[in-house]
Structure 1
């Protein structure tokens, strides 16, 4: 996994629905009890490159991607390196930002997108 903190999602104790960012109430069952579950990675579904960041002069390009977790939830993350669409990525947190890095995620290639 990349340097930084582990990526964690909240999971409803009642119905096992995952949520990120954390919610006060579960969208599936209305419960408000959660457990924190580390997530090692996911599959990169989409990616784009921002060539300019609004309000910040002189910034370099930033790659963003949509990562689908095994639970079915999706997370928007900064993408490091050049992982191919549909490939497994490892997730971590760095200064509050979710990072997706190519590499040694142990997630199976269960997703069959276009």
Structure 2
């Protein structure tokens, strides 16, 4: 058995590499992502989703027309999805009503 007694600044030529434990590096984020997160944080948090915006709009009124949703920027296909999820109820052609959700 050979023991190498070299100086600390010297390196030895070992037959097998010696594994050195390193802490995993966090993935680097792009500057634009950091800036976007900072803008969202300073603005008071993320904006509500279109679904949340549409449901809040419908809860504030008795009935809402498709035209009213499209006027505030909600696409019409969201209304179909929200009806399937049970958030909206289709009252008539182009007329919707918010369903009161009960606490579980």
Normalising by structure 2, we get a TM-score of 0.21
Rg larger in structure? 2
- Asked which structure has the greater RCO (Cα within 8 Å, sep 6+), the reply is 1
More strand by share: 1
